[in-house]
A and B are shown apart, each in its own frame.
Chain A
Amino acid sequence: MPYSFELNGETVTVDVPGDAPLLWVLRDTLGVTGPKYGCGVGVCRACTSHLDGGAFQPCTVPVADCAGRRVTTIEGLADGDTLHPVQQAWIDEDVAQCGYCQPGQIMAAVALLADHPHPTDADIDAIENVCRCGTYVRIRRAIHRAAGG
């Protein structure tokens, strides 16, 4: 049956089974490939996006649970050509290596900063997203930079 939700500021409607994980609906039905598959069970968090502004893992959430709600992926973070301050901090700190986990890392960081505008290192330690290239020290610096200090 059709499900409608807001995706990166626009309403979309998809006709897929309600139990289909949102990750595959985003990637294969809607062609939104910023959220990455890394484990499918919500552990690696490479697909981290926002549901009504909070971080979530689309690989573990069925599309039916998103009906009528607001989904933001990495593609919806910038304002046109103007990067979100966290994206800019990521470039300024040259965080990425392979880049595969970074959309998820950025979305996790944006959500963290919404709850903790000036996060401590202990707050940042709570981020569980895996970065197999081991860029954690630069992720930490970029979050502090985006927080304005």
Chain B
Amino acid sequence: MAGQGITRRQLLGYALGAPTLAVAVRLAGAVAEPEAAGAQVAEILDFSDALTLAALPTQHLLVVEVTAANRVVVRLPRAEVGQGITTAVAQIVAEEVDARLDDVDVVLEDARPALVFNQLTGGSNSVHALYGPLRLAASGIRARLVTAAAQWWRAPAGTLVTRATAVVHPDGRTATFGELSAAAAAVGLPAVAPVPKDPDDFAVVGRPTTRIDARDIVTGRARYTQDLAVPGALPCVVARPPTLGGGVRSLDAAGARAWPGVVAVTRIPTGVAVVAQTFDQALAARDALVVDWGPGPSASLSDADVRSRLAAATPPFLPPPGSVSVERSFDFAFVPHAPMEVLNCVADVRADRAELWLASKSPIVAAQTVALTLGLPVDRVTVHVVRGGGSFGRRLFFDPAVEAALVSQAVGRPIRLLWTRADDMRHGRLRPASRHRARATHLLGQVLSYEHRMASVALDGSHGLGELLSAVGVEALGGVGPAMFHLGQLDLYNLGAQARSLREVDLAFPTGSWRSVFSGQVRTVDEVMVDEVARSLRRDPVAFRRARLRSSRLRAVLDRVAAAGSWGRSLPAGTAQGVGLHEEYKSVVAFLVELDARDRARPRVTRAVAAVDVGRAINPLGLEAQMQGALTDALSVILRAGVHIDGGAVRESSYTDFRYARMRDTPVEVEVHVMPPTGDPGGAGELGVPAAGAAVANAWARATGAPPLAFPIVP
């Protein structure tokens, strides 16, 4: 079998080329004055670079192997939460080894601490980080398979070709990769160069491809954590405090313990866990607990308090000297991630070891944290990464793993811990609420300056990202929040002197990065301001943008949506078009939407056109899906979906009151134009949210005559 050893040797040279130090040194100079130079940081090194650099030293540990059963197996150190990374990785590997796509298996790797920073799924970075290393690993394997066949047939290696998971002799003989795998593993120096293909020769990469797990999904065979048959694992739910971060003052569990099927009741730091034979018994017994809850640390805070704290952190600008100024302030509510699959974990903790199953985007840190919590050596903790039912950033945090481990340890049985939907809404993490003050000045038709001050409830990055950013030398940017802010934000337009700043406000709310982190809010504000400046100058928003865009890639996607979306076509009163652009993750995108705002309580995006340039699309069909999904996210949180805080508690508890879009809120048609390749692949998963959100906000302003200043627009 061509195994790990081959891959290791093959990739060593690649890993040694890591230019980490050189980049870190250049960056240190650029961030000396973050307020002034912040917007430029991302041009030197952006968040994608940071994540890719952090992964580079361990890329030689990636595993691609060929089994005797003729399967090409990739052990992928990333999470699959719907973004389609398993399909994209299968395409990349199938392309380079010349395997049939159906013969490639992508297995989610267990937590593997040796990978250090190379097992974190986030920042839309997976393809950016893995494209090169996977191609190198796969082309090395292909070269060894060809060499093994040449030795077997005593034929010149250069005369052999590979296709459809086999090596083919000029006379028509074939040998499958599986038949050759044992001999290929013994090949030292390959007889053909292990060089990845010229992208011009790609046949699989770049081809619209349906998900490799589609059949499993539509037949119900796809297994999520709670679908796994872990023997003896008992259902478990947790009673949680009414306020965020509250605690147990006193507990009377007698009624719950007497409930049929109840196995155990145990206190954990986040609440009171009930273990029973079935989930309905556990849920009923949870309701029978009598708990006196103490208030959480933010119990004195409601929405108005949060807003005023944030407003105090965005001081007014000094009056502009002799120019026209356009100034606005914007508020964004907290937003939960609310993935369809609620948080959950299966844990089997024994005296000397622990085994956990969950959908985790940071499984190494999860394993380390569980080990620390249980008092076990980290090498005695196994974390199996299971496919996840959505994430949107939520599964960077592994709260249910710690809870499940503690309960299993206390009860001495394997357990299956499930958050209810209300648990998820009321105690899940939140996109931080934020306040923005932005001002543009212009004189005689020239834009002189653009400033944007953001204040945000502090972003929690305690899932390993802080350590990762330090490792690539960007700690100079400040904490995780400021670092992600400065690594993410680019000036898209020439608007004179520009400055963007973030001030974090420490309030005791459980926060977490939410698909596109700060960019969803920042770009919405920036793009609404661009429309406002254009209006102030009596210019058409598209023409105004076009004249000031700094990149030809951005101009190309704007031109595409303006043409395909018939920008400027006449629409009934109360309905309007809007555009928005975004650049991040080495990619650019433009959205044009049409919004029907005649019903102010239930506005509907009726049509959307996107144009996206990710450098090179691995799977255009998957890329289209990401843009369509991002649009749904964006129109939801811009128009109607957010949560309210009442006395340190989240008011909403399900999809009834958290108004995430349903079918009838979404456009019948979403047209996505994938631009021709312009380079190596960049990121896509989060890319669409900021541009789509900005387009919806601008359409609202044009439909109603006033820019939206608080989000979601429908309170």
Chain A residues within CB distance 8 Å of chain B: 16-17, 19-21, 24, 27-29, 31, 33-41, 43-44, 46, 73-75, 77-78, 83, 87, 90-92, 94, 96-103, 106, 121, 124-140
B663 and A91 contacting across the interface, CB-CB below 8 Å:
no
Contact status of A134 and B632, CB under 8 A, knowing A31-B229, A96-B211: yes
Contact status of A136 and B341, CB under 8 A, knowing A74-B220, A97-B82, A99-B217: no
A96 and B218 contacting across the interface, CB-CB below 8 Å:
yes
B214 and A38 contacting across the interface, CB-CB below 8 Å:
no
> Hey, what's the 0/1 contact readout for B142-164 against A, CB within 8 Å counting as 1?
00000000000000000000000
Leading 5 A-B pairs by shortest Cβ distance? A134-B632, A34-B220, A98-B82, A100-B389, A97-B82
Complex Cα gap A79–B255 (Å): 47
A41 and B654 contacting across the interface, CB-CB below 8 Å:
yes
A-B contact pairs, 7 of them (CB 8 A): A24-B278, A27-B279, A33-B223, A44-B421, A98-B389, A100-B390, A138-B628
User: For A124, what are the chain B residues with a Cβ–Cβ distance below 8 Å?
Assistant: 663
A90 and B340 contacting across the interface, CB-CB below 8 Å:
no
Q: Which residue of B lies closest to A75 (CB)?
A: B220
A39 and B220 contacting across the interface, CB-CB below 8 Å:
no
Q: Which residue of A lies closest to B662 (CB)?
A: A128
Which of B222, B390, B668 is close to A137, meaning CB atoms less than 8 Å apart?
A: B668
Answer whether residue B202 sits at the interface, using C-beta atoms and an 8 A cutoff: no
Q: Which residue of B lies closest to A135 (CB)?
A: B629
Task: Give the size category of B's interface with A.
Answer: 35 or more
B82 and A38 contacting across the interface, CB-CB below 8 Å:
no
Contact status of A140 and B663, CB under 8 A, knowing A24-B280, A98-B341: yes
Q: Which residue of B lies closest to A140 (CB)?
A: B668
Complex Cα gap A144–B612 (Å): 26
Q: Which residue of B lies closest to A86 (CB)?
A: B218
Which of B217, B392, B631 is close to A96, meaning CB atoms less than 8 Å apart?
A: B217
Complex Cα gap A133–B632 (Å): 8
A91 and B214 contacting across the interface, CB-CB below 8 Å:
yes
A142 smallest CB distance to B (angstroms):
10
Q: Which residue of A lies closest to B339 (CB)?
A: A132
Complex Cα gap A16–B213 (Å): 34
User: For B421, what are the chain A residues with a Cβ–Cβ distance below 8 Å?
Assistant: 38-41, 43-44
Q: Which residue of B lies closest to A45 (CB)?
A: B655
Answer whether residue B670 sits at the interface, using C-beta atoms and an 8 A cutoff: yes
Q: Which residue of A lies closest to B210 (CB)?
A: A94
Contact status of A17 and B625, CB under 8 A, knowing A90-B218, A136-B661, A137-B668: no
User: For A41, what are the chain B residues with a Cβ–Cβ distance below 8 Å?
Assistant: 421, 654
User: For B229, what are the chain A residues with a Cβ–Cβ distance below 8 Å?
Assistant: 31
Complex Cα gap A25–B8 (Å): 48
Answer whether residue B552 sits at the interface, using C-beta atoms and an 8 A cutoff: no
User: For A21, what are the chain B residues with a Cβ–Cβ distance below 8 Å?
Assistant: 280
User: For A16, what are the chain B residues with a Cβ–Cβ distance below 8 Å?
Assistant: 278
B84 and A97 contacting across the interface, CB-CB below 8 Å:
yes
Complex Cα gap A16–B280 (Å): 11
- Most chain B beta-carbon contacts within 10 A, residue among A29, A74, A92: A74
B628 and A137 contacting across the interface, CB-CB below 8 Å:
yes
User: For B388, what are the chain A residues with a Cβ–Cβ distance below 8 Å?
Assistant: 98
Answer whether residue B198 sits at the interface, using C-beta atoms and an 8 A cutoff: no
User: For A99, what are the chain B residues with a Cβ–Cβ distance below 8 Å?
Assistant: 82, 213, 216-217, 222, 387, 389
Answer whether residue B329 sits at the interface, using C-beta atoms and an 8 A cutoff: no
A19 smallest CB distance to B (angstroms):
8
B418 and A37 contacting across the interface, CB-CB below 8 Å:
yes
Complex Cα gap A83–B84 (Å): 22
B279 and A134 contacting across the interface, CB-CB below 8 Å:
no
Q: Which residue of B lies closest to A99 (CB)?
A: B217
- Most chain A beta-carbon contacts within 10 A, residue among B219, B229, B628: B219
Which of B220, B227, B338, B631 is close to A73, meaning CB atoms less than 8 Å apart?
A: B220
Answer whether residue B224 sits at the interface, using C-beta atoms and an 8 A cutoff: yes
Q: From residue 324 to 346 of chain B, which have CB atoms closer than 8 A to chain A?
A: 338-342
Answer whether residue B666 sits at the interface, using C-beta atoms and an 8 A cutoff: yes
User: For B77, what are the chain A residues with a Cβ–Cβ distance below 8 Å?
Assistant: none
A141 smallest CB distance to B (angstroms):
9
Which of B210, B211, B633, B664 is close to A134, meaning CB atoms less than 8 Å apart?
A: B633
User: For B629, what are the chain A residues with a Cβ–Cβ distance below 8 Å?
Assistant: 97, 133-135
Q: From residue 628 to 651 of chain B, which have CB atoms closer than 8 A to chain A?
A: 628-633, 636
User: For B342, what are the chain A residues with a Cβ–Cβ distance below 8 Å?
Assistant: 37-38
Q: Which residue of B lies closest to A103 (CB)?
A: B220
- Most chain B beta-carbon contacts within 10 A, residue among A34, A39, A73, A98: A98
Contact status of A29 and B226, CB under 8 A, knowing A96-B214, A96-B217: no
Q: Which residue of A lies closest to B670 (CB)?
A: A137
Complex Cα gap A90–B220 (Å): 13
Please give 4 more A-B residue pairs, beta carbons under 8 A apart, in addition to A41-B421, A83-B215, A100-B340. Answer: A98-B340, A99-B216, A99-B387, A137-B667
Contact status of A134 and B621, CB under 8 A, knowing A83-B218, A91-B214, A98-B81: no
B625 and A97 contacting across the interface, CB-CB below 8 Å:
yes
User: For A98, what are the chain B residues with a Cβ–Cβ distance below 8 Å?
Assistant: 81-82, 339-341, 387-391
Complex Cα gap A97–B622 (Å): 9
Complex Cα gap A37–B420 (Å): 9
Q: Which residue of B lies closest to A89 (CB)?
A: B218
Answer whether residue B669 sits at the interface, using C-beta atoms and an 8 A cutoff: yes
B438 smallest CB distance to A (angstroms):
28
Answer whether residue B119 sits at the interface, using C-beta atoms and an 8 A cutoff: no
> Hey, what's the 0/1 contact readout for B205-243 against A, CB within 8 Å counting as 1?
000001101111111111110110100000100000000
User: For A83, what are the chain B residues with a Cβ–Cβ distance below 8 Å?
Assistant: 215, 218-219
B82 smallest CB distance to A (angstroms):
3
B630 and A134 contacting across the interface, CB-CB below 8 Å:
yes
B628 and A37 contacting across the interface, CB-CB below 8 Å:
no
User: For B660, what are the chain A residues with a Cβ–Cβ distance below 8 Å?
Assistant: 130, 132
Complex Cα gap A139–B629 (Å): 12
Answer whether residue B260 sits at the interface, using C-beta atoms and an 8 A cutoff: yes
B595 smallest CB distance to A (angstroms):
16
Complex Cα gap A19–B629 (Å): 38
Contact status of A132 and B214, CB under 8 A, knowing A28-B279, A38-B421, A126-B664: no
Complex Cα gap A94–B280 (Å): 35
A108 smallest CB distance to B (angstroms):
10
Complex Cα gap A44–B389 (Å): 13
User: For A134, what are the chain B residues with a Cβ–Cβ distance below 8 Å?
Assistant: 628-633, 636, 661, 666
Q: Which residue of A lies closest to B219 (CB)?
A: A78
User: For A125, what are the chain B residues with a Cβ–Cβ distance below 8 Å?
Assistant: 663-664
Answer whether residue B59 sits at the interface, using C-beta atoms and an 8 A cutoff: no
User: For B391, what are the chain A residues with a Cβ–Cβ distance below 8 Å?
Assistant: 98
B340 and A74 contacting across the interface, CB-CB below 8 Å:
no
Answer whether residue B656 sits at the interface, using C-beta atoms and an 8 A cutoff: yes
Complex Cα gap A91–B621 (Å): 12
B278 and A133 contacting across the interface, CB-CB below 8 Å:
no
User: For A90, what are the chain B residues with a Cβ–Cβ distance below 8 Å?
Assistant: 214, 217-218
A2 smallest CB distance to B (angstroms):
16
Q: From residue 384 to 405 of chain B, which have CB atoms closer than 8 A to chain A?
A: 387-392
User: For A37, what are the chain B residues with a Cβ–Cβ distance below 8 Å?
Assistant: 226, 279, 342, 418
Contact status of A130 and B210, CB under 8 A, knowing A28-B278, A90-B218, A121-B668: no
Q: Which residue of B lies closest to A124 (CB)?
A: B663
Complex Cα gap A44–B662 (Å): 10
B218 and A91 contacting across the interface, CB-CB below 8 Å:
yes
> Hey, what's the 0/1 contact readout for B264-293 against A, CB within 8 Å counting as 1?
000000000000001110010000000000
A77 smallest CB distance to B (angstroms):
8
A105 smallest CB distance to B (angstroms):
10
Complex Cα gap A93–B215 (Å): 12
Answer whether residue B165 sits at the interface, using C-beta atoms and an 8 A cutoff: no
Answer whether residue B456 sits at the interface, using C-beta atoms and an 8 A cutoff: no
Complex Cα gap A90–B625 (Å): 13
Answer whether residue B83 sits at the interface, using C-beta atoms and an 8 A cutoff: yes
